[in-house]
Amino acid sequence: MATLGTLAPTPRLVMSRARRVRSALWRLSAVTLIWATSLFVLALWVTGAGIESLLAFDGDTLTTLGRLTGLVSANLLLYQVLLMARVPALERGFGRDGITRMHRLVGFWSFWLLLAHLVLITAGYAITSHTNVLLQAWDFVWDYPGMLLATAGTGLLVLVVVTSIRRARRRLRYESWHLLHLYGYLGAGLAVPHMLWTGADFTASAGATVYWWALWAVAAACVLWFRLAVPLIRSVRHGLRVVAVQRDGQDGVAVRVAGRDVHRLGAQAGQFFIWRFLDGPGWTRGHPFSLAAAPTGSELVLSARRVGDGTDRLAGLRPGTRAMVEGPYGAMTGERRGGSRLLMLGAGAGVAPLVALLQSEPYAPGEAILVTRDHSADHALRRAEIDRLAVDRGLVHYTLHGHRASSGTSWVPATHATWDGPELLRRIAGDLADYDVYLCGPTPWMASLRRDLRAAGVAAERIHSEAFAV
């Protein structure tokens, strides 16, 4: 009898490897784009006497530092627009988890460098012209082309950054935060004319001017195409409509959406869409919901816990309501598997995409384990589907319900607070060497689990998760 080590690669595994290679190539392309534009920015500063001015130790020193911070900020702002545009090359290269981290990191760095640019360039000009700093700032705003627009754009970017700070973000409803966040597009758009009309590094040569205009034109086109045109075209083509709305647990709701040739959307279990339901005022605000069942040729299923206006509206949807979608997004799919067994750990609404994966992935009875975490069994989502998988396919299901532990291992409930995290994982799954582990839940919960999984000896490439909080 052949052992696992001597089995020939299955067509599925060969296809998975090919897709991983394609993903690596997409990532290489995205990284190359970032480095190429970054080096171009540095070259612009150097050829513009940046180093000589830096060593002058006078007003020119502050001015050239202002130029450099402005160039880097503009370049990062360009990346930010492309990240918000959900360009497939970046999505496939970095995955939604990576895109989310980059979005936050790039956004804050671009903002702080923008503020540094404003302070340094104003101080540099004021010293060189022997003018009061405040008068110089006033002169910039009122006498330089595009500066009034740039000032308004900066104000909008300040609004976006302030509301993106985690403490402020937690105080806002998702719908309010999402609407405010869209002002980032307008802020970037208002700042661009100043850069391209009066920035010395942007107008130093015909090549530089063409480069920047072309780059921003491409970024604007990506936003219009991938965020507006593609979702509209796909939604009309597939005729997506709600066919059923059902309760899912005590405070959850499951929505089934059907249409024409749904398989052509290319969705995979573990992915998510940005959903908009045309049921009245507020339909323009999109909400990210994961697929809660393995996608079929004619139907998609989403499940969510009712925690706000957007999710409460799901319960009131009527059959026949039109749906618009962006996506599919996410890389937490079966393509990332490298082992023969599955260990799924989900908390709250994070259980839904794990159930979809368990429905679509191959495994023998006893080779897949699902651990679910919730406040109580009544709050659990997708319970009927989990029970069906246990009966039909031999899924092993453990529950860790209850209030969060105040000390010890933070991903377990208070009833298991005295347990050592890595030891508990070994107790659940045994030898973890053959497992691929999928995590889905709140970011701090997943971070705690990841630490314990690594301590238990699970290789980093065998741990698959995505975080969606910005």
- 9 cis-preceded (ω within 30 degrees of 0): no
Q: Measuring CA to CA, which residue among 130, 136, 135, 124 is closest to residue 200?
A: 124
B/e letters for 270-294, b = 16+ CB within 10 Å, e = fewer, are: bbbbbbbbebeeeeebbbbbbbbbb
Round to whole Å and give the CA distance between 321 and 241. 5
Q: What are the start and end residues of each CATH 3.40.50.80 domain in the chain?
A: 334-465
pLDDT of residue 154: 81
Q: What are the start and end residues of each CATH 1.20.120 domain in the chain?
A: 21-204
CB neighbour list of residue 250: distance below 8 Å, 6 or more residues apart: 378, 379
**N- to C-terminal Cα distance for the chain?**
50
Threshold 0.85, pTM exceeds: no
Helix (H) or strand (E) holding 289: strand 287-290
DSSP letter for each residue of 4-73: GGGPPPPHHHHHHHHHHHHHHHHHHHHHHHHHHHHHHHHHHHHHTTHHHHHTT-SHHHHHHHHHHHHHHH
pLDDT of residue 12: 46
Q: Which CATH class is domain 334-465?
A: alpha beta
pLDDT of residue 1: 31
Options 1.10.510, 1.10.3470, 1.20.120, 1.10.12; CATH for 21-204 is 1.20.120
Mean pLDDT, consecutive 10-residue segments, the chain of 470 residues? 37 54 72 78 77 78 85 82 77 72 81 88 88 84 76 80 70 65 73 69 72 82 88 89 90 91 89 88 81 88 76 85 88 83 92 94 93 86 92 93 76 83 90 91 89 91 74
Q: Which amino acid type is present at position 384?
A: A
pLDDT of residue 199: 65
Which tokens is 54 given? 């830096």
Q: What are the start and end residues of each CATH 2.40.30.10 domain in the chain?
A: 239-329
Strands 299-305, 252-258: pairing kind: antiparallel
Which tokens is 322 given? 């039109």
Domain spanning 239-329: CATH superfamily: Translation factors (2.40.30.10)
